[in-house]
């Protein structure tokens, strides 16, 4: 138990030392830069520096959230930031728009205020765990005899409130040092918790703000889902009108011609019937393709894993598939995941000139999330913000609270990661 407490105190001291450096160094520096950048907005320079500094502040705050959860188990809710404009302008107008958008966001000022408090109160609460430990060790070093040359050179050496000028006072200093070390062992971890609790009070997103953001996102994704459904319905109607319906109309006309020719010209009637039979087969094939596009039979019958493998076999290039699913997921989730995989692989073949791809699908029971990673060795350069099909895919996944992340440097490779939260289907329970 003692060894564990000593180890924990040493770890808390190291963590507190790092936090104090971040508070006094990074937080104070970012606060100063933010204030200077605001002053330069009127000169035009701040229009370019402010978004960069605000992004750095948010990254700094997110790092503190990570430390809080990992070191003390205190979750600091992130979010609350206003979403970026969906269709940002380009050039100077876009830079002005982004700067104004950030400065109108209350969370920007919340984070900036936290920087100043973190540089003062945050530094104090962070430096106490290592400070108590190091100050206590100093008392033990003094009582070991180091006080003698110091006292000879300077006279009385003040160790806290203890004036050390003899072995008796040095012993008192050593006992005081033991008290500091004991305080570090007992309260070091609690002082770190105070630091993170204060941070949570300052930059933690409120439940009201998160709920409002959630409602706004659900409203947006609902509209996107309705638009996608309407577009899909129009596609089905167009395919029926231009394909199967046209062939069926042609078959009806052919059968009418057969009725007129069956007695006058039986041979011609037979040829028209043979052509009508071919049209019926083609119409049936088109209907099957249409149904497969709506919901592939292999997906309905055998699930996402086998459907993804079948899809990979139909691609123009080799696709290695690795599936780790304990069973069937909810049908809407399977359908959304299947068509997302289909679109990403199609884009890899059509736009990226990929020669090979890797598809990984697995389900995490811990957070009930379906995760899909698709990698290809194409030329890269995919960007959801550039108006490509990935933008539409991102909106469709939003209806499921899904997330699409794309890493596609020019020259490749491209990695597309999809995460879809989902409740467990009966076969997974």
Domain ranges of the chain: 2-203, 229-294, 298-428
Where residue 429 falls among pLDDT bands split at 50, 70, 90?
very low
Distance (Å, whole) CA 76 – CA 201: 9
pLDDT surpasses 50 at 247: yes
Closest CA to 138 of 176, 168, 169, 189: 176
Work out the burial of residue 50: count CB atoms within 10 Å of its CB; fewer than 13 is exposed, 13-18 middle, 19 or more buried.
buried
The CA R_g of the chain, rounded to the nearest whole Å, is 34
In this prediction, residues 395-420 reach a mean pLDDT of 81
- Those residues with Cβ within 8 angstroms of residue 359's Cβ, 6 or more apart along the chain or in another chain: 308, 312, 319, 320, 321, 322, 341, 345, 372, 373, 374
pLDDT in the model for residue 232: 58
Tell me: the pLDDT tens digits for 350-397? 777 788 889 999 888 877 888 888 888 888 777 665 555 677 777 777
Residue with tokens 């920087």: 115
pLDDT in the model for residue 284: 65
pLDDT surpasses 70 at 302: yes
Which of the pair, 185 or 282, is modelled with greater confidence? 185
Tell me: the pLDDT tens digits for 53-73? 999 999 999 999 999 989 988
Phi, psi of 415 (to 5 degrees): -120, 120
Closest CA to 137 of 119, 169, 159: 159
pLDDT surpasses 70 at 79: no
229-294 and 298-428: identical CATH topology: no
Tokens read off for 395 = 């909106």
Closest CA to 359 of 285, 415, 409, 287: 415
- Report yes or no: 66 and 199 within 8 Å, Cβ to Cβ: no
- Report yes or no: 341 and 393 within 8 Å, Cβ to Cβ: no
Fold of the 298-428 domain: Heat Shock Protein 90 (3.30.565)
- Report yes or no: 307 and 315 within 8 Å, Cβ to Cβ: no
CATH hierarchy code of domain 229-294: 1.20.5
Q: How many CB atoms lie within 10 A of CB 260?
A: 10
- Those residues with Cβ within 8 angstroms of residue 207's Cβ, 6 or more apart along the chain or in another chain: 77
pLDDT in the model for residue 409: 80
Closest CA to 417 of 428, 405, 409: 405
Q: CA-based diameter of the chain, in Å?
A: 135
**pTM listed for this prediction:** 0.56
Task: Among 13-27, 162-176, 208-222, 398-412, name the one with the lowest average pLDDT.
Answer: 208-222
Task: Among 27-31, 80-84, 101-105, 232-236, name the one with the lowest average pLDDT.
Answer: 232-236
pLDDT surpasses 50 at 426: no
pLDDT in the model for residue 231: 59
């Amino acid at each position: 138990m003692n060894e564990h407490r000593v180890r924990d105190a040493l770890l808390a001291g190291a963590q507190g030392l790092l936090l104090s450096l971040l508070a006094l160094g990074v937080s104070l520096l970012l606060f100063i830069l933010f204030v200077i950048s605001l002053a330069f907005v009127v000169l035009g320079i701040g229009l370019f520096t402010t978004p960069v500094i605000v992004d750095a502040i948010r990254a700094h705050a997110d790092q503190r959230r990570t430390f809080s959860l990992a070191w003390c188990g205190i979750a600091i809710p992130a979010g609350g930031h206003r979403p970026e404009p969906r269709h940002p302008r380009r050039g100077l107008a876009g830079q002005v728009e982004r700067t104004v958008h950030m400065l109108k966001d209350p969370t920007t000022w919340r984070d900036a205020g936290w920087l100043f408090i973190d540089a003062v109160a945050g530094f104090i609460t962070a430096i106490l765990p290592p400070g108590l430990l190091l100050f206590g060790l100093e008392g033990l070093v003094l009582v070991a005899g180091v006080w003698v040359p110091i006292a000879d050179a300077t006279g009385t050496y003040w160790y806290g409130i203890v004036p050390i000028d003899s072995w008796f006072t040095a012993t008192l200093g050593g006992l005081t040092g033991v008290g500091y070390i004991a305080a570090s062992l007992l309260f070091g971890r609690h002082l770190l918790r105070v630091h993170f609790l204060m941070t949570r009070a300052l930059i933690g997103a409120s439940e009201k703000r998160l709920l409002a953001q959630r409602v706004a996102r659900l409203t947006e994704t609902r509209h996107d889902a309705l638009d996608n459904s309407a577009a899909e319905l129009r596609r089905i109607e167009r395919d029926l009108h231009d394909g199967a319906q046209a062939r069926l109309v042609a078959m009806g006309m052919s059968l009418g011609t057969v009725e007129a020719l069956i007695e006058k010209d039986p041979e011609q009637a037979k040829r028209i019937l043979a052509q009508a039979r071919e049209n019926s087969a083609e119409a049936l094939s088109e209907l099957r393709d249409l149904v497969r596009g709506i919901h592939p039979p292999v997906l309905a019958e055998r699930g996402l894993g086998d459907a993804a493998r079948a899809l990979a076999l139909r691609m123009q290039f080799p696709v290695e598939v690795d599936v780790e699913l304990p069973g069937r997921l909810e049908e809407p989730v399977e359908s959304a995941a299947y068509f997302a995989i289909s679109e990403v692989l199609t884009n890899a073949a059509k736009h990226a000139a990929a020669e090979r791809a890797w598809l990984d699908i697995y389900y995490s029971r811990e957070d009930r999330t379906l995760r899909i990673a698709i990698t290809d060795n194409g030329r890269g350069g995919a960007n959801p913000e550039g108006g490509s099909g990935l933008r539409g895919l991102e909106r469709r996944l939003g209806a499921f609270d899904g997330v699409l992340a794309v890493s596609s440097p020019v020259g490749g490779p491209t990695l597309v990661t999809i995460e879809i939260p989902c409740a467990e289907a009966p076969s997974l329970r």
